[in-house]
Amino acid sequence: MAEPKPEEISHPPMDQLQGLEYCIDSNPSWGEAIALGFQHYILALGTAVMIPSFLVPLMGGTDDDKVRVAQTLLFVEGINTLLQTLFGTRLPTVIGGSYAFMVPIISIIHDTTLLSIEDNHMRFLYTMRAVQGALIVASSIQIILGYSQMWAICTRFFSPLGMIPVIALVGFGLFDKGFPVVGRCVEIGIPMLVLFIAFSQYLKNFHTKQLPILERFALIISITVIWAYAHLLTASGAYKHRPELTQLNCRTDKANLISSAPWIKIPYPLQWGAPTFDAGHAFGMMAAVLVSLIESTGSYKAAARLASATPPPAHILSRGIGWQGIGILLDGLFGTLTGSTVSVENVGLLGSTRVGSRRVIQISAGFMIFFSILGKFGALFASIPFTIFAAVYCVLFGIVASVGLSFMQFTNMNSMRNLFIIGVAMFLGLSVPEYYREYTAKALHGPAHTRAVWFNDFLNTIFFSSPTVALIVAVLLDNTLDYKDSARDRGMPWWANFRTFKGDGRSEEFYSLPFNLNRFFPPS
């Protein structure tokens, strides 16, 4: 047997991911697109229900308040997703609620002025208004950085090498939302994980009418099966005498969403009353907006690759961040109780289904708006135990992380300089937030604990985020450590084509504005 030639065992770098059925601007049939859009909607429910379920009780809110906040969050998610896919980056990304805002929001909830309000309902309303005011003020950060093109200038310091740990930790950094949550109810979490992998990978070649139905709809099929199984366990009394925490994670009737949801309710701006403004609250929230900006930048680059598009030029990224700032402003006006960012799980689903179509995501936005208005129907799907979503996250977050690692192909991974930067950035990106989490769990406050609450919120929010820590370390090292003689090793010659809109002819195909709007807003 002849020895293989070097070109036969090497894989040349590719700026577009191969093997996708539909890319950003190609569309499946309408029936398939609607089904795929519904699948993205179901996946987005996890975060949309989890955040209000955790925060609203801390504010003194009832189940009715929790449902109303979840409906509002979904409604605004739908609007923001449509705005982003039409006028922002135009990538197939769902714009959902962000966990990055948890630290400043919890700080607002624990404000002594608000805690002193004895009536629970009034405390909920006043806390909600304080969060709204902070979001409205903080949204200006992304609006200014985006529309002034300042973020585009900042991204010119990013190389493929610097982006590897950032994009990878967009996925890896959410590990605490994966198997640790699955472990709270292994009897439904493990079967969900196994079934989803089996359908999406091992049985992906099963076709019905030339459609790989098990691969394409693995999420919705496996969720339906395990949801029915979980309901059977609940109805049979399997959790009747189990601890309250187990029941909350396993039972299908503990969310109290369906009974509390109205039949029809249209969210509207200032529905909780006039927002209140506090400089300390707003400053802490600004840190979360910066974290959201960094995490979304990594997610946009991952989404571009999973949609078989070229990397988004700096101008397009900045435009997307500007629209995301508008989204956070809408979050503040409507009262969603959190800010917006790119939904990492939905980016991962693009890779799992091998469908990166923009139209599918726009259809999912329609489902979000529709089911948030029809409360009972939306609450039915939102009652799926979060453990089921966590099992899927184990796969989808991993896909996004692997996209970050795929950027290694454009760099020299035989360079000790590059190995040092990636290794240190990834390790600190995981280790520093873990230190902050462990410290907070023990001390009930973050490591930054001075008399200046706004300062504490700012530092604790920044260092709770794995991609943010990775970006600080990677970009700093990459632009100071032997950077003059390392352009080729860093992947800069490949990156140069995508730094401007006109650098690559495919940018117009992927990122041009609809309705011929480029005449009025010409890209740089």
pLDDT tens readout for residues 72-93? 999 999 999 999 999 999 999 9
Instruction: Give the pLDDT confidence of 198-231 residue by residue, as tens digits.
Output: 999 999 888 887 888 999 999 999 999 999 998 8
3 state SS of 96: strand
Structure tokens at 435: 């230190």
Sorted by where each begins, the domain ranges of the chain are 30-408
Please give the pLDDT value at position 523: 63
Residue 522 has pLDDT above 70, yes or no: no
Residues 343 and 393: beta-carbon distance below 8 Å: no
Please give the pLDDT value at position 524: 61
Structure tokens at 376: 């009972």
d(CA 409, CA 196): 29
Instruction: Give the pLDDT confidence of 275-320 residue by residue, as tens digits.
Output: 999 999 999 999 999 999 999 999 999 999 999 998 899 999 999 9
Residue 1 has pLDDT above 70, yes or no: no
Please give the pLDDT value at position 9: 62
What is the average per-residue pLDDT within 382-400?
A: 92
- What contacts 252, CB < 8 A, 6 or more positions away? 227, 230, 231, 234, 383, 384, 385
Q: Residue 451 burial (CB < 10 Å; 0-12/13-18/19+)?
A: exposed
With bands split at pLDDT 50, 70 and 90, how would you rate the model's confidence at 41?
Answer: very high
Measure the CA angle with vertex 406, ends 479 and 213; round to 5°.
150
Mean pLDDT for the chain overall = 90
Residue 403 has pLDDT above 60, yes or no: yes
Residues 175 and 400: beta-carbon distance below 8 Å: no
Per residue, the 3-state secondary structure of 102-127, as one string, reads HHHHHHHHCCHHHHCCCCHHHHHHHH
What is the average per-residue pLDDT within 221-246?
A: 87
Structure tokens at 181: 């949550």
What is the model's pTM? 0.93
With bands split at pLDDT 50, 70 and 90, how would you rate the model's confidence at 182?
Answer: very high
Instruction: Give the pLDDT confidence of 467-515 residue by residue, as tens digits.
Output: 999 999 999 999 999 877 888 999 888 877 777 766 667 777 788 888 7
